[in-house]
A and B are shown apart, each in its own frame.
Chain A
Amino acid sequence: MARMELKDLVKRYGAVEVLRDINLDIADGEFIVLVGPSGCGKSTLLRMIAGLEPITEGDFLIDGARMNDVSPRDRDIAMVFQSYALYPHMDVARNMGFSMEIRRDPVDEKKTRVAQAAETLGLTALTDRLPKALSGGQRQRVAMGRAIIRDPRAFLFDEPLSNLDAALRVEMRLEIARLHQRLGATMIYVTHDQVEALTLADRIVVLNGGDIQQVGSPLDLYERPANKFVAQFIGSPTMNVIPVTGGVEGVTLANGQWLGLPMRENTPFATELGIRPEHLDVVDPGPNVLTATADVVEHLGSDTNIYVNVDKVGPMMVRKHGNIPIATGDKLGLRVMTENAHLFAKGGAALPAPVRQAA
């Protein structure tokens, strides 16, 4: 049980304000992912929740109880550090059982729990090794084991997978998803990785420069970003954003071409158009389409990434399923799938599209 409420949280280091007006309600058992560029305050927020960093202003509540002045040990939260922070002088078993050792839990129970956790994480053969004799992935597992051993009411992860290679990341990501399903505990997870964020999260919190930009489900953020920052931060490859001039039910592109956006009322305020690489169609050059030259073509097998230069508009990126027979230097036409176009006003706020009827 851990419902968390963050109310008007502020963090300052001296005069420097690192986080401001953080408001967030986290439901019991929810998986929240914090994303944002480096230095935006993700770790700081997580550490404030953990109790490792004092809260300058505002209130933090767990299950209705104010936690601001409660020490980390009494918050009953477990944390997995990016650096793993294993105790180098203790073997794997003792590392995992340390929290129970400190709490003076019965030795038998500790042993069973450690054995169980080791079993779950595939560490049984390694329990008497010191951390220095483990690989990166094994260390990561020990750090996870240490967190799950005592059934805390919430878990915090600070980029737990960023030191692993790609294959291990995928594996551990699944492991964490399973863990969340099995334990049903509240989890807050900081990451840089799009895929981790989109696959793990119930809700994603996008931070930038100490402000929450948007909170929503992965699909929400992908389909209805609140502003240009979120639009470009979520989704990979990054959304193309090009300058436009607003008109009635449509916009004019930099090359003078008119792009009709029927049914949209706020088009006059648009200054920029955003279109995801997967929402551009490659067609034959002709009237009413964008004329572009292929700059670099990446054939990934399942997808083709085409970096193009659009005449009088600038560079854009197109992503298509399958293997598209295009070579560098080819002339091609691009058609914008207007139902997936995003519009941004001056300052970056999104101009929302009318909610589409479910088919």
Chain B
Amino acid sequence: MSVTRTNPALTLGKYVALLAYLLFALFPLYWLVKIAITPDRLIFTEGTDLWPSTTTLDNFRTVIFQTDFMAFFGNSLYVSLGTAAVTTILAAGAGYAFSRFDFGGKKIIVAVMLITQMFPLLMIIAPIYKIVASLGMLNSLTSLIVVYTAFNIPFATFLMQSFFDAIPKDLEEAAMMDGCTRFQALRKVILPLTLPGLGATLGFVFTAAWSELLFALMLISDNESMTFPVGLLTFVSRFSVDWGQMMAAGSLALIPSCLFFIFIQRYLVQGLTSGAVKG
């Protein structure tokens, strides 16, 4: 073992680069929160200051108690959790099949799934609207879950497949030699090892559904079933934009995403399978 001395200038450079990246990535979030706590009367006078001279939680109060925002929020939560759950379950099943079995038409299915990812969403808005309308499912949150699930499944499946691929086949076979059926092997050995994959997929799909605007805007017009990104647009009136409240609502919308990632991040840690094979 030799201790390699790293060049201090290099280390410094690394941290400077990281810092620059963080500033760049987090600045919009900071700005969001800053505007949310700036009193309305100061928004335009102190708009470019890094910190307002006085702060207030009025915007949050208004958003929570005097608008439909909480309802939007609930709708979004329902749609996003629903989509994440349904997509992940289906993608896990499909990913497992792709990873472990050879079956006729596998290549074709993969190709078709890839093709669905190649079209810009704008192109298929009209047909989707037509389908959903003729099913009588406009303004229903279920239609959103179905549409989001359909759009997220291909990517989620490839993601899950790569997680299954990373688990040695030997493990399942060992389990089957130990007396498991294939399904028991899946449940007792493979599933616990796929938790990071499930976590990542859940997180990915949840965020995608949480911030989706296009389809929600088109399929939902009813105030009752608006999701939160559509709801945000209600802060834009014909004559003005209520920046403070909009930003307050936006800040609140960050909370579930953050909570969700805090919850799943322990499953995202790598190295869960280490120790399985020789090493």
- Chain A interface residues (CB < 8 Å from chain B): 50-52, 71-73, 77-79, 81, 83-89, 98-99, 102-103, 130-134, 136, 139, 146, 163
Contact of A163 among B173, B181, B278 (CB under 8 A): B278
**A274–B170 CA distance with the chains assembled, in angstroms:** 41
Q: Which residue of A lies closest to B170 (CB)?
A: A85
- Which residues of the partner chain B approach A89 to less than 8 Å between Cβ atoms? 192-193, 272
A88 touches B279 (CB 8 A): no
Interface contact B178-A146, CB-CB below 8 Å: yes
- 1/0 contact trace for B89-122 toward A, CB 8 Å? 0000000000000000000000000000000000
9 tightest CB-CB pairs across the interface, nearest first? Answer: A132-B275, A131-B275, A85-B170, A99-B178, A85-B174, A83-B277, A102-B179, A163-B278, A88-B276
The answer on a CB contact under 8 Å between A52 and B176 is yes
Which B residues are CB-close (under 8 A) to A102?
175, 178-180, 184, 188
User: Knowing A89-B192, A89-B193, A102-B184 touch, does A84 contact B277 (C-beta < 8 A)?
Assistant: yes
B277 touches which one: A51, A71, A85 (CB < 8 A)?
A85
B interface, size bucket:
20 to 34
Asked, given contacts A50-B177, A102-B180, whether A87 binds B279 with beta carbons under 8 Å apart, the answer is no
A87 partner residues in chain B, CB cutoff 8 A: 171, 174-175, 189, 276
Across the interface, A86 reaches (CB within 8 A) one of B177, B184, B188, B276, namely B276
Across the interface, do B274 and A73 meet the contact criterion of CB distance under 8 Å?
no
Q: How many A-B residue pairs have CB under 8 A?
A: 86
- Given A72-B173, A83-B170, A102-B184, list of 8 further CB < 8 A pairs? A51-B176, A72-B176, A79-B174, A85-B170, A88-B275, A102-B179, A131-B275, A146-B174
Please tell me if the beta carbons of A73 and B171 are within 8 angstroms of each other in the complex. Answer: no
* Residues of B in contact with A (beta carbons under 8 Å apart): 168, 170-171, 173-181, 184, 188-189, 192-193, 271-279
Shortest B117–chain A CB gap in Å is: 31
Point out the residue from B170, B181, B188 that lies within 8 Å of A73, measured CB to CB: B181
A88 near B178 (CB under 8 angstroms)? no
A246: shortest Cβ distance to chain B, in Å? 50
- Which among A50, A89, A99, A146 has the highest number of chain B CB atoms within 10 Å? A89
In the complex, what residues of B have CB within 8 A of residue A136's CB?
A: 278-279
Report yes or no: B276 in contact with A131, Cβ–Cβ below 8 A: yes
Task: Give the docked Cα–Cα distance between A132 and B275 (Å).
Answer: 4
Q: By the criterion CB–CB under 8 Å, are A86 and B180 in contact? A: no
11 A-B pairs in the complex with CB atoms less than 8 angstroms apart: A50-B173, A50-B177, A51-B176, A52-B173, A72-B177, A78-B177, A83-B276, A85-B170, A85-B171, A87-B276, A146-B178
CB <8 Å contact, A103 and B278: no
Contact of A134 with B178 at beta-carbon distance under 8 Å, contacts A83-B170, A85-B168, A102-B184 already known: no
Bound form: Cα–Cα A51–B174 in Å: 11
A132 touching B177, Cβ below 8 Å = no
- Whether B173 lies near A85 (C-beta < 8 A) is yes
Contact A139 B279, beta carbon cutoff 8 Å: yes
**B195, closest chain A residue (CB):** A89
Residue from the set B178, B273, B277 with the largest chain A CB neighbour count within 10 Å: B178
Q: Are B168 and A83 in contact (CB under 8 A)?
A: yes
CA distance A85 to B175 in the complex (A): 9
B199, chain A: closest CB distance, angstroms: 15
Give the docked Cα–Cα distance between A84 and B168 (Å): 11
CB nearest neighbor in B for A73: B179
Residues B272 and A81 in contact, CB atoms below 8 Å apart: no
**Which residue on chain A has the smallest CB distance to residue B184?**
A102
The one of A71, A98, A131 in contact with B178, judged by C-beta atoms closer than 8 angstroms, is: A98
